[in-house]
Structure 1
């Protein structure tokens, strides 16, 4: 890629890494690590690309895509069909929006309901965001993240001298060489570890979690259980796994992942569900969620409701 270190290269990386088949993470990490400024440019490009793609996805078919007033001379590139669409979105957003202030502190990375995004950090760490997620990062402390809502899978390059920290509400998590998943719901917090370890509340309880450990926090109540390591972060593969999780939480997370509005009747909201939800099946037939969790699932206006009966 030409223009190494400039905005065009950052946009190219953002477009390529948005492709689900992208597997050149090592090269992207090397490019980011060579200059701290590149991480900012890449993050801006990825955020703008995702936002414009969402806008184009939901735009009425009769409204033509905006045509830029001018276009720079660019080398011709050949992309797979899905990536070509993303490239068009990226071009449009940069003509309309331009680059945000790279000195802004801190900054948010968000996904719309039904969308996902992966953020590559300058140190080689990666954070995958599920639908309906808002994550706060800080350019003055690149080893800190705050999960305001939703779910994220952290693949962290461990540094014992500067451990990575995640703040979720009043909780703090510290990596000890780690791949771990964090979900923040209205009822509390869930953490599951696939590799390495996580320390919860390092200044107080110092609760250590290892591979296969799952922590659920509801208020002051904490429960540690064991899950299959392969199930941690399975939402990236289109699966959501639950262990005695209230149906209210299940419905909220399935809705965020698929961009559906799903409400739950109070009579069944706290009923526990254990099992795996295959998102592709629910996307094709939302009513099938009711059969899976053993309650009725009925259409309500522009959404769905889980309840004790039809």
Structure 2
């Protein structure tokens, strides 16, 4: 969910206030929290960031049950409240900066996911084995891998994403980009994306998947259920007549398990849907799910569709 800067600022202030030992304005806080799902999302972000900072500093929450004597607790609370307030204030000021600084590169290992908040309230979620360069809060470049973008729309300053020689321009959007060996797929869940607006442009609407060849630049359009766009964030991958090599690549990226295609039997197209987490524990479970043979060769799992 994209969260705007005003909501993030409000969430940081509420996080500071609700962490103070003498806070009593719970009805107002509850009213604000329930006013919008974005409010709850922003508040969760602020508290998670603050708790991580507190843990790193070795602090103890002010309401920790180990404190049984109120008189002993008061000095601690007097120290903690301003410390936590300072921590949360710092979070409010800094938690979105890294992605807004020019030229920062974000990388993930196979099987890892990472969420990046941009300074304008947009977010990017990277799948495993991916690399994103954020040039500024309205311009980025996906060099490899897979990512979902939830972009705050600004018609006067549209978000632009470079993928190889192609350019994608946001039109109020939640969209996914998947870079494979020979092609790139762009799927839209909300809003729209304009592909190559300065050339032979194409508009990608919700449920559309535009795939273009990385070398030739030609493209084709297909339709998918909207809930399959970026579904890997919910722990699922769906394949529709996908080459086995594509299946192996997507699964390796998502699970962290090294899947490879057999030297023979790799030409088969695959259709099916799998959940990611069980395959981390049992890579061979993929076989009956997709109707293929899966065998282990050292640290690698070989997929054979023959």
- Greater CA deviation, 296-305 or 219-228? 219-228
The alignment status of 1:288 with 2:253, answered yes or no, reads no
CA distance in structure 2 between the partners assigned to 1:246 and 1:293 by the alignment: 12
Equivalence for 1:142: 137
CA distance in structure 2 between the partners assigned to 1:231 and 1:137 by the alignment: 26
Contact preservation (8 Å) 2:99, 2:134: no
Equivalence for 1:255: 252
- Per-residue CA shift, 1:26-66, capped at 9, x if unaligned? 348899xxxxxxxxxx9xx9xxx9xxxxxxxxxxxxxxxxx
CA distance in structure 2 between the partners assigned to 1:272 and 1:242 by the alignment: 9
Q: Report the CA distance between 1:271 and its aligned residue.
A: 2.4
Which consecutive aligned stretches of 4+ in structure 1 deviate over 4 angstroms post-superposition? 27-31, 71-74, 101-105
Number of corresponding residues: 233
Q: Report the CA distance between 1:308 and its aligned residue.
A: 4.2
Instruction: Structure 2: state its 5+ residue gaps.
Output: 1-10, 17-37, 64-97
CA distance in structure 1 between the partners assigned to 2:170 and 2:246 by the alignment: 26
The alignment status of 1:199 with 2:190, answered yes or no, reads no
Equivalence for 1:35: none
The alignment status of 1:184 with 2:179, answered yes or no, reads yes
Secondary structure of the equivalent of 1:250?
Answer: helix
Over 3 Å counting, the alpha-carbon distance change for 1:237 and 1:77 in structure 2 is same
Q: Report the CA distance between 1:211 and its aligned residue.
A: 0.5
Contact preservation (8 Å) 1:163, 1:176: yes
Equivalence for 2:60: 76
TM score, norm. by length of structure 2: 0.68
Which structure has the bigger radius of gyration? 2
Q: Report the CA distance between 1:24 and its aligned residue.
A: 4.2
Equivalence for 1:130: 127
Q: Report the CA distance between 1:154 and its aligned residue.
A: 0.3
Over 3 Å counting, the alpha-carbon distance change for 1:145 and 1:28 in structure 2 is farther
- Greater CA deviation, 22-31 or 248-257? 22-31
1:166 equivalent among 151, 161, 164? 161
CA distance in structure 2 between the partners assigned to 1:102 and 1:135 by the alignment: 10
Over 3 Å counting, the alpha-carbon distance change for 1:142 and 1:216 in structure 2 is same
The alignment status of 1:156 with 2:151, answered yes or no, reads yes
CA distance in structure 1 between the partners assigned to 2:99 and 2:238 by the alignment: 38
CA distance in structure 2 between the partners assigned to 1:124 and 1:104 by the alignment: 14
1:116 equivalent among 74, 89, 113? 113
Q: Report the CA distance between 1:119 and its aligned residue.
A: 0.5
Secondary structure of the equivalent of 1:26?
Answer: helix
Q: Report the CA distance between 1:252 and its aligned residue.
A: 1.1
- Per-residue CA shift, 1:12-34, capped at 9, x if unaligned? xxxxxxxxxx9843348899xxx
Contact preservation (8 Å) 1:29, 1:122: no
Instruction: Structure 1: state its 5+ residue gaps.
Output: 10-21, 32-41, 50-70, 80-100
Equivalence for 1:18: none
Larger helix percent:
2
CA distance in structure 1 between the partners assigned to 2:293 and 2:121 by the alignment: 45
The alignment status of 1:26 with 2:59, answered yes or no, reads no
The alignment status of 1:210 with 2:205, answered yes or no, reads yes
Q: Report the CA distance between 1:78 and its aligned residue.
A: 8.4
